[in-house]
A = this chain, B = another copy of it.
Amino acid sequence: MGITPQQFEQLQRRAKRIRRVPSNVIESTPEPRRLTHQVILGVDPSLRGTGYGIIRVARPHPQLLAQGTIKSPAGWPRSRCLVHIFKMLREVLTQHHPSVCAIEGLFYAQNLQTALIMGEARGACLVAVAEAGLEIFEIAPRKVKQAIVGYGAAQKSAVAKMVQRLLNLPELPGPDAADALALALAFARQNSRYSLNAPKRV
């Protein structure tokens, strides 16, 4: 049983219309937060090398706006490093105006002293980001890996390669920036569909 070219075109149009329906349904869900964030900041805080990455949610793939590592020389006192992190992040925020920030959630430190120093770096980041009015969400490292690579115990290099592919970057991003971009991408995924793994607000 054959069909005419006109019938074939009609079927194609119908099929396209049907495929468009799910996205319309999602757009009208009563959770506006999930689709309002178009520019996302990811931050991976560390005293001597804080990674950051900003992406814009776009089709066919998210777009990179900025990425980098805020480095401090080993000779600087801790407080100077913290002010440096704070000021550099504030500058990045002023340039790109993200509306939401994803930061690493549960983390593992070797000992209390390390946890304290990591906490200080996080504090400096959180103050810069929250003062700029962004909503901040924590995502556990395992969940970031799961969202990006599909495997919760993936290696750092695998995450960096996947970040490069997802953002269509010409080069592999640096390790700190890659972690930050992975956080932003993971947030974008959790935010764009009806996800059960809603990130935790901090």
- CB neighbours of A109 from chain B (8 A): 112, 115-116
Nearest residue, chain B, Cβ from A136:
B79
A79 to B79, CA, bound (A): 19
As for how many copies of this chain the complex holds, the number is: 2
- CB neighbours of A122 from chain B (8 A): 116, 119-120, 123
Q: Tell me which of A4-12, A21-29, A58-66, A127-135 binds B.
A: A127-135
Contact with B along A81-121 (1 / 0, CB 8 A): 01100110000000000000000000111001001111111
**Across the interface, do B126 and A82 meet the contact criterion of CB distance under 8 Å?**
yes
The 6 closest A-B pairs by CB, nearest first: A119-B119, A123-B123, A115-B115, A120-B123, A79-B130, A116-B119
Q: Is A124 an interface residue (CB 8 A)?
A: yes
**Across the interface, do B202 and A131 meet the contact criterion of CB distance under 8 Å?**
no
Q: Measuring CB to CB, which residues of chain A are less than 8 angstroms from any residue of chain B?
A: 77-80, 82-83, 86-87, 107-109, 112, 115-124, 126-127, 129-131, 136, 201-202
A110 to B75, CA, bound (A): 30
A108 to chain B, nearest CB (A): 7
> Given A79-B130, A86-B131 in contact, is the A112-B108 Cβ separation under 8 Å?
yes
A82 to B80, CA, bound (A): 18
**Across the interface, do B202 and A77 meet the contact criterion of CB distance under 8 Å?**
yes
